[in-house]
Amino acid sequence: MNHFDPTLSGHAVRLASKRAIRFDQSENVIARRCGAELRERLDLINLQPQAILDLGGGMGLESRELANKYPEALVVGLDNCVDAASDLKAVAPPDAWSACFGDAHELPFKDHCFDFVFANLILPWTDSTDALKEVARVLKPGGLLLLATFGPDTLVELRAAWADVDHKPHGHAFIDMHDLGDTILQAGFLEPVMDVDVVGLTYLSVEGLVKDLRMLGGTNALVDRRRSLTGKSRWQTFKSAYGSSSADSDRLRATFELIYGVAWARIPPDDRERSIEVKFGE
């Protein structure tokens, strides 16, 4: 069954993930920035997890950091790219973290087995409603969800430049912060706290931006995307349009709207006295 957002091709998403692991992920500026921001927020939360899920863990950079921060915890890194999971199994110390292959929409874990789910830039490539319901299912009552995702103003320059070329979509829409908060509540969480950070990166060339997007697994995965190859003429028109939109003629700007969220899994009334304590530090 295809659990993906119906506007996305599950095959294209998996193929983009497979291509992304060919890059050195330590150079993935946006993903590493978001990962570092999420880990900093953990310093404000009183958390002693026994089991952690790094959802969409890729090559395990955040899994390693989480294992170092919580040495007593089991850290599991899950990715939809079987190559990433296989590579990690070969290099991950068995006493630090483990890696597995799986679908965020149908997590291969029993109910209520994790204290904490770390989700760094995985939601844009999922049906967020189904993925968040699965996260709520595998979290223990009172367990913590910490996430980073993209907002709708991400890559506005790129979409505007492609609009000068054709009317085909060249990137899917990202969920608004307020809609995401509502989705988190409906999935089975309490007290979501959301905030936004808008980051502008600059590039010497469009090719540099495209490389970063491929590193993110961010190639066009829309079902109704243009399937033919981008011809030289169309590509040059796109580059010219992108360059003319930049106030600085020497560098090209790319906007990333980064949404950060924290929420706690609901606690059934009869479990309140037995739930784990996960709250902001005093």
| Per-domain boundaries in the chain | 10-152+173-197+257-280
Q: Which residues pair with 222 in a beta bridge?
A: 8
**pLDDT at res. 179:** 95
Q: How many CA atoms lie within 13 A of 113 on its CB side?
A: 11
Listed range (100-114, 203-217, 268-282) with the worst mean pLDDT:
268-282
| 245 pLDDT more than 70 | no
Q: Which CATH number fits domain 10-152+173-197+257-280: 3.40.50.300, 3.10.180.10, 3.40.50.720, 3.40.50.150?
A: 3.40.50.150
Identify the three-state secondary structure at position 242: helix
**Which of 83-87, 158-162, 263-267 has maximum average pLDDT?**
263-267
β-sheet with 114-120: strand ranges across: 97-101, 74-79, 51-55, 114-120, 139-150, 252-265, 189-203
Q: Is residue 173 very low, low, confident or very high in pLDDT (cuts 50, 70, 90)? A: confident
Report how far residue 83's alpha carbon sits from residue 26's, in angstroms, rounded to the nearest whole number: 18
CA angle 68, 52, 268 (to 5 degrees): 145
- pTM (2 d.p.): 0.83
| 20 pLDDT more than 90 | no
Contact call for residues 92 and 29 (beta carbons, < 8 A): no
Q: Which residues contact 65 (CB under 8 A, 6 or more apart)?
A: 35, 39
Distances (CA, A) of 232 to 165, 235, 238: 12, 5, 10
Query: For the chain, first and last CA: distance in Å?
Result: 45
Which of the two residues, 87 and 222, has the higher pLDDT score?
87
| 4 pLDDT more than 90 | no
| 224 pLDDT more than 80 | no
**pLDDT at res. 167:** 72
Which of the two residues, 100 and 235, has the higher pLDDT score?
100
What would the two tokens of residue 55 be? 């959802």
Please state the three-class secondary structure of 141-177 as a single string.
EEEEEEEEEECCCCCHHHHHHHHCCCCCCCCCCCCCH
Mean predicted lDDT score pLDDT of the chain: 81
pLDDT tens sequence across 144-156: 999 999 999 999 9
**pLDDT at res. 87:** 53
Segment 53-76 mean pLDDT: 92
What would the two tokens of residue 228 be? 């033919």
**Residue 103 DSSP code:** B
Listed range (36-40, 43-47, 170-174) with the worst mean pLDDT:
170-174
What would the two tokens of residue 215 be? 């590193």
Q: Identify the CA nearest to 222 among candidates 22, 13, 79.
A: 13
**pLDDT at res. 171:** 66
Contact call for residues 122 and 116 (beta carbons, < 8 A): no
**pLDDT at res. 73:** 94
Q: Is residue 246 very low, low, confident or very high in pLDDT (cuts 50, 70, 90)? A: low
Share of the chain above pLDDT 90, in %: 47
Q: Identify the CA nearest to 209 among candidates 170, 153, 252.
A: 252
Q: Is residue 279 very low, low, confident or very high in pLDDT (cuts 50, 70, 90)? A: very low
Report how far residue 230's alpha carbon sits from residue 236's, in angstroms, rounded to the nearest whole number: 10
